[in-house]
Amino acid sequence: MALSDTQQRIMPRREDREHSHCQVLAYPEAVLLTNPINPKLKGEVDDKYQYSIESKDNKLHGWIADHDAVGFWIITPSDEFRTGGPHKQDLTSHVGPTALSMFVSNHYTGKDIAEFYKERVAWKKAFGPVLIYLNSATFDHAHRYRKSLWKDAKKRLSKEIKSWPYSFAASKDYPHADHRGEVSGQLLVRDKYLHKQLMKAKSAFVGLAAPGRAGSWQTEGKGYQFWTQTDKAGRFSIKNVRRGKYNLYAWVHGFIGNYKLDRNVSVHTGYKKNLGTLIYDPPRSGPTLWEIGIPDRTAAEFFIPDPNPTFVNSILNHDDQKFRQYGLWDRYSDTYPHHDLVFKVGASNYSRDWFFAHVPRRTGNDTKATTWKIKFKLQEVSKSGKYTLQMALAAANFAEVQVRINKPDGSPHFTTNRIGYDNAVARHGIHGLYRLYSINVPGKRLRVGNNTIFLTQTRCKDEFMAVMYDYIRLEGPAV
């Protein structure tokens, strides 16, 4: 099976997932291979969710038949018809051999993205085209044909991307290039606490999706979405857009929140529109006093532990895929056997001292709620001032985060209430749906000297009730 340049391996057979060959782990999709037909795979974990990929990268995956030196590939040159935007994760290939082309699912989002179709309301959507590509090479015992088949499949993907939208499709529901439009512009960021001048939104994701609130594209699936990334100057061009009414959305690496243009964009045949310079004002109430993490909508920058040696999948040995190893939720209790996480601003390092997921603690056969502490010092406090705690979440699954300030007990200063269905921890994701909470903190809650913020994830019926933090920042009063 091949998913990328680095994710390629000999896979178990379907029979290896039967009870006589494996041990079922925490859920049916995950098994430990105890007696596989190929003995080299003994002791490895197999779980189809470990092979998930974000929509923007899910363009090529498939299989190579070793005995025949033949490749079978799913090639998807455009994701305009998929749900949930460019970061929506979904299944690819897995044991079977199985190769999937996922159009609609609630994986890594839960029912927040479920589509409800009203009675007597007309709706239709064209999915695809998707290419099923077969190739072959000359067999050799050194298996050099594997590299050749993969390289050829990548070359074919490039050809298909250049050919999109296809000219051969006869359906009236699939417009050709001359019946589509283009939207361009430049995105800048305004944050006076970081820079006096406007900043260029480098590598920002900018897209067109159905009208809605800022960020609603994450859970939108009835319509089409068109995304691109800005260049170093913040310029963007979204090409081959279908006719329709859209909102223009964006998010910028290094800044919290969601951008939405305050007017609709209506695209028609031959439409070419330059929207000019657009300004994004990310949420901000005052200067940064301290921060934890990077605003990138993932928990990838935080501490990701090594997997339990008993539960390893060798295809995930590369650092950028480490978070997909099985059972990392249990490593929290191994990492903090006696007390919960304590992060000391100015002394701790979030890549080492901030666990990637706020999960319950394992206590024998039970689980219990966990409270993380952020300890920090303030040289001065304005008792009448308004402070703000910006708390961005990268994922949430049947979770609730309660925030307390300098008082570990009693009623919380703030609660998210129960949120999320994305199941990102169990499904080996590093993010699910993005959420941002701007929490007002009156100055009278703080004190000169030592302070502590308590973050309690209260829901703990199972180990998968959890959140992942994207970024946390305490802001002082506006100046």
Domain CATH for 466: 2.60.120.260
Residue 469 belongs to a domain: yes
Q: Rg of the Cα trace of the chain? A: 24
Query: 324 burial class (0-12, 13-18, 19+ CB within 10 angstroms)?
Result: buried
**Which pLDDT score is estimated for 459?**
97
- Distance between CA atoms of residues 344 and 376, nearest Å: 6
pLDDT of residue 388: 99
The number of folded domains in the chain is 3
Give the separation between CA 63 and CA 75, rounded to whole angstroms.
12
Point out the domain boundary residue: 163, 190, 214: 163
Residue 347 lies in a domain: yes
Residue 91 confidence (pLDDT): 98
Q: Does 169 fall in a domain?
A: no
What six digits make up the tokens of 61?
């995956």
Supply the pLDDT for residue 339: 96
Question: What are the angstrom distances between the C-alpha of 278 and each of 114, 249, 257, 394?
Answer: 32, 11, 16, 26
Give me the amino acid identity at 108. Y
| Nearest CA among 338, 396, 341, 398 for reference residue 363 | 338
- In this predicted structure, what is the pLDDT of residue 142? 82
- pLDDT, position 223: 95
Clarify whether residues 271 and 310 are in a common domain.
no
8 Å CB contact between 127 and 81: yes
Give the per-residue pLDDT at 465. Answer: 98
Spatial distance between the Cα atoms of 227 and 442, rounded to a whole number of angstroms: 40
Q: Enumerate the β-bridge partners of residue 184.
A: 237, 274
pLDDT number for residue 313: 97
- Please give the chain's pLDDT, 479 residues, in tens: 999 999 999 999 999 999 999 999 999 999 999 999 999 999 999 999 999 999 999 999 999 999 899 999 999 999 999 999 999 999 999 999 999 999 999 999 999 998 777 788 888 999 999 999 999 999 998 889 999 999 999 999 999 999 999 999 999 999 999 999 999 999 999 999 999 999 999 999 999 999 999 999 999 999 999 999 999 999 999 999 999 999 999 999 999 999 999 999 999 999 999 999 999 999 999 999 999 999 999 999 999 999 999 999 999 998 999 999 999 999 999 999 999 999 999 999 999 999 999 999 999 889 999 999 999 999 999 999 999 999 999 999 999 999 999 999 999 999 999 999 999 999 999 999 999 999 999 999 999 999 999 999 999 999 999 999 999 999 999 99
Q: What is the CATH number of the domain that holds 214?
A: 2.60.40.1120
Length of the chain: 479
Same domain (yes/no): 151, 194 = no
* Residue 66 C-beta-side C-alpha neighbours within 13 Å: 10
Q: What is the pLDDT of residue 120?
A: 83
- What is the pLDDT, as a whole number, of residue 365? 87
Strand partners for 2: 8, 62
Q: Which of 247, 280, 313 is the last residue of a domain?
A: 280
**Same domain, yes or no: 320 and 462:** yes
- Pair 332, 460 in one domain: yes
Q: The domain containing residue 438 runs over which residues?
A: 288-475
Residues 151 and 249 in one domain: no
Tell whether 351 and 399 lie within a shared domain: yes
* Both tokens assigned to 462: 């199972």
| Nearest residue to 68 (alpha-carbon basis) of 183, 162, 149 | 149
Q: What is the pLDDT of residue 234?
A: 99
End-to-end CA distance of the chain: 56
Q: Are residues 273 and 326 in the same domain?
A: no
Query: So what's the pLDDT on residue 368?
Result: 96
| 41 found inside a domain | yes
pLDDT of residue 115: 77
For residue 9, tell me if it sits in a domain: no
Establish if 172 belongs to a structural domain: no
Choose the final residue of a domain: 235, 264, 280: 280
CB-hemisphere CA count at 13 Å for 42? 8
Contact between 112 and 421 under an 8 Å Cβ cutoff? The reply is yes
In the numeric block, which tokens belong to residue 133?
């590509």
pLDDT for 403 equals: 99
- Residue 331 — left, alpha, or beta (φ > 0 → left; ψ -120 to 50 → alpha)? alpha
Residues 465 and 435 in one domain: yes
SS3 per-residue string spanning the chain: CECCCCCECCCCCHHHHCCCCEEECCCCCCEEECCCCCHHHCCEEECHHHHCEEHHHCCEEEEEECCCCEEEEEECCCCCCCCCCCCCEECCEECCCEECCCCCCCCCCHHHHCCCCCCCCCCCCCCCCCEEEEEECCCCCCCHHHHHHHHHHHHHHHHHHHHCCCCCCCCCCCCCHHHCEEEEEEEEECCCCCCCCCEECCCCEEEEECCCCCCHHHHCCCCCCEEEECCCCCEEEEEEECCEEEEEEEECCCCCCCEECCCCEEECCCCEEEEEEEEECCCCCCCEEEEEECCCCCCCCCECCCCCCCCECHHHCCHHHHHHCCCHHHHHHHHCCCCCCEEECCCCCHHHHCECCECCEEECCEEECEEEEEEEEECCCCCCCEEEEEEEEEEEEEECEEEEECCCCCCCCEECCCEEECCCCCCCCCCCCCEEEEEEEEHHHCCCEEEEEEEEECCCCCCCCEEEEEEEEEECCCC
Residues 315 and 400 in one domain: yes
Q: In what order do the strands lie in the sheet with 131-136?
A: 60-65, 70-75, 131-136
Regarding whether 442 and 294 lie in a shared domain, the answer is: yes
Handedness of CA 232, 281, 253, 208 (dihedral sign): negative
Same domain membership, residue 35 and residue 159: yes
Measured between alpha carbons, how far is 85 from 209 in angstroms, rounded to an integer?
8
**295 and 261 part of one domain:** no
Whether 158 maps to a domain, the answer reads yes
